[in-house]
Every structure is written in structure tokens, then in C-alpha cells.
Amino acid sequence: MKRQNVRTLSLIVCTFTYLLVGAAIFDALESDHEGKMNKTLTYIEDMLVRKYNISGDDRKIWQTVVIKMVPHRAGTQWKFTGAFYFATTVLTTIADDMSDGAPEVPGR
């Protein structure tokens, strides 16, 4: 294999490994917090249902209204695939900013 091909392949492997490690870190940091938040919200919801004696039908209507108010939070956000997407976005954003070298400073 040519030397240039080996460099390219090793760069691709290193970048992909970097993304996998970043995604694993984001997943580990954020998924526990999100799980705790879901448990807390479920506890508060159950407490309100008991306190105000809300029926099952009213509870379903209430859940529908709340979910429609915040549609992007309808499911678990921090799964490994979401973390991998976030790591890729961070990498490409940083790489795009650094492609010109040092940032320009006005007046110099």
C-alpha cells in the first residue's frame, strides 16, 4: 500500500475513534442526568395526580398538552447515536473554525 494511502486510512481511523470516544463520554455524562430527571418528573406527576385526584382520562389529556408544548423532548435525547451526532457536530464546527489558521484580529 502506498504511504499516502496509509496516512489517509490512519487519519480516518483516528478521527472515527476520536468520535466514538467523544460519543461515549457525552453518553456517560448526560444519560444518567436525563434518567434522573425523568424519574423526578414522573414522581412529581404521580404526586400531583394523587393530590388533585386527577382521573386517567384527564391525565392522558394533560400529558398530550404538555408533550405538544415541548415536542422535541418527547423521547430520550442522550442515547449513543445522539451523542455520536453531537461529537461529530462539535468536531466539524471546530475544524471549520480552525481551517483558516489563527483568527484575524482587527487592526493588525
Averaged pLDDT of the chain: 81
Confidence at 49, pLDDT banded by 50, 70, 90: confident
Whether residue 99 is contained in a domain is answered as no
d(Cα 26, Cα 41) in Å, to the nearest integer? 22
d(Cα 36, Cα 105) in Å, to the nearest integer? 45
Q: Total domain count for the chain? A: 1
- Residue 77 phi/psi, 5-degree rounding, is -85, -40
Whether residue 30 is contained in a domain is answered as yes
Write out pLDDT tens, residues 63-93.
888 777 765 555 666 788 888 888 888 888 8
Q: Which domain holds residue 16?
A: 3-78
